[in-house]
Structure 1
């Protein structure tokens, strides 16, 4: 369905307390409380099959996204960075909630046919992602506290007790991740990924959770979803610097990078890593390339439901 054929094209600026909505072709904006009852009443005023664009804002957008989808509207969760660039390209000087709502509606009208419509993620994906992010939050807090308290001596005993409680909670989350996977019957997929040198349980779980999010046509689509694909900026005879798009979940990329640091010391992947270093790649760049390679192998294993074999090419093995 073309966006221009939608019954109404709507942009929504999302905040924790309120939503500001704007409909294409209508100057007036509407403000409502960001809670389910108000959202439901507002959605009922829209024509069936309306197209709605909004940016992801922590978790504050989820009620609107899920309810709008359930009511038959077309929902698009758009990239905030792209919308920001779009604003700049139009020469917009003002940035208010109302302006952003109108901008989102305009962006959807002009670019909507190139955007991917939002669909509900599988429940298992949501559970795994939630637990992985909770764990990451605890680890970050624990690390930050240790750095800030490293010179504290008088309260050391109580502080170490607190750190042990952090560690226990982190282990509890890891146990819960295993229980969720066992209950779902998908632990085999995680174990397939764990067979890859350097890939531990957490990284394997993150890669599997990402794999669950959609039907990826090929490994390149999966790599792009992880944000490990490259931005290319070439013009004429000039070859610009390549950078990661970083469009996916940063926690998956962090875990993948850690896995590459372990994999680069293995007999299987060390030659590939050293080859990249020999080509003039910096250590960080070579490790990032290796993490992309590991993710590609994991995708092949999960897609084909095959066990890992370091001697098999799989199209993305070390020899390629």
Structure 2
């Protein structure tokens, strides 16, 4: 199947087509419906009506193109920018332009056969994602203003900070209401939230964030693929006998999702009746750092989240399987 590398920007996108016969072609189009139509004509001219296409997940500019390619029958991939960058370094690349970026992505697609295809989320999940991310942005601004207040600014500045804090608090309340209203309009969202909240430590905010940040979770083939998508799999660095760096989370994917899973893990280990409590203690007893143990619980929670949604079954703790 031909590979189509795409480098997207606000107004235009560059493409590089690699054909199975060994030939290649490059072009640039406008990032709108007219440009999409011209792309279709260009692909047909090169006898590549169906391709394996990919572009980096770097912002909102590629969403409409992803939808267009998907509905046109192409196999589409939304690529992790860090992995594309690592591949670029491995190739010793020194030139960086929009055209060469598109060619690099096409080469990356050719070298990576096990990539997860992009799956469009339902409109309800897209709306949920937008609301959850907007709420996170407002909360970040609210915390910044509260930090300014703690620095004890002058009277006039403090009054200004207080006004902004009240506005932001009201906005968080409104966004929470909007999220609740959206969930109430969709039975599928309500059911998914109930399943996720059956997991120890997962409250409503965490459950909503999981749905919003992994909207196509049921499309994954394995639980470990979901953990990798969330950036919760370990990244190791060992070489010879002298290099033994401590393993760390890869931290790819959504930082907001990891933040909420961390909060869930903290809640999960506080109560001795919680299914994850003995799991946590087992890690600590073996000399693992507490942060490492919490990371293991985060990993366990997202895998269980995949299971309950994939199999449409609430979580039931099996303590025999929860040992560290």
The TM-score normalised by the length of structure 1 is: 0.85
2:115 and 2:24 mapped to 1: Cα distance? 24
Map of 1:173-184 to 2, 5 A cutoff? 173-184=175-186
* Residue 200 of structure 1 pairs with residue 203 of structure 2: yes
Kept after mapping to 1: 8 A contact 2:145/2:164? no
How is 1:93-132 mapped onto 2 (pairs within 5 angstroms)? Answer: 93-111=94-112, 113-132=113-132
1:18 paired residue number: 12
Which residue of the partner structure matches residue 41 of structure 2? 44
- Other-structure match for 1:257: 262
Structure 2 match to 1:291: 298
Query: Equivalences for 1:127-138 in 2 at 5 Å?
Result: 127-138=127-138
SS at match of 1:60: helix
Equivalent residue, structure 1, for 2:221: 217
Q: Distance in 2 between matches of 1:218 and 1:12?
A: 28
Return closer, same or farther for 1:33/1:211 CA change in 2, 3 Å cut-off.
Answer: closer
Give the Å deviation of 1:49. 0.8
Distance 1:28 1:148, change over 3 A: farther
Q: What's 2:283 paired with?
A: 276
Shift of 1:257: 0.3
Q: Which residue of 2 aligns with 1:141?
A: 141
In structure 2, what is the equivalent of residue 84 of structure 1?
Answer: 85
> Is the partner of 2:77 in helix, strand or coil?
strand
Mapped to 2, the partners of 1:294 and 1:301 lie a distance apart of 11
Give the direction of change, closer, same or farther, for the CA distance of 1:316–1:160 in structure 2 (3 Å limit). farther
Q: String of CA shifts for 1:149-203, please: whole Å, max 9, x gaps.
A: 5332313233222212211211222222222222211323313332434322110
Cα distance in 1 for residues equivalent to 2:320 and 2:226? 14
Report how far residue 265 of structure 1 moved: 1.1
Q: In structure 2, the residue corresponding to 1:242 is in which secondary structure? A: strand
How many residue pairs end up in the alignment? 310
In structure 1, what is the Cα distance between the partners aligned to 2:216 and 2:26? 37
Measure how far apart 1:89 and its partner are: 1.6
Partner of 2:70: 69
**Over the residues paired in the alignment, what is the CA RMSD in angstroms?**
2.6
Measured at CA, do residues 104 and 196 of structure 1 come closer, stay the same or move farther in structure 2, by a change above 3 Å?
closer
Q: Which runs of 5+ in 2 are unaligned?
A: none
Closer, same or farther in 2 for the Cα pair 1:187/1:89, shift >3 Å? same
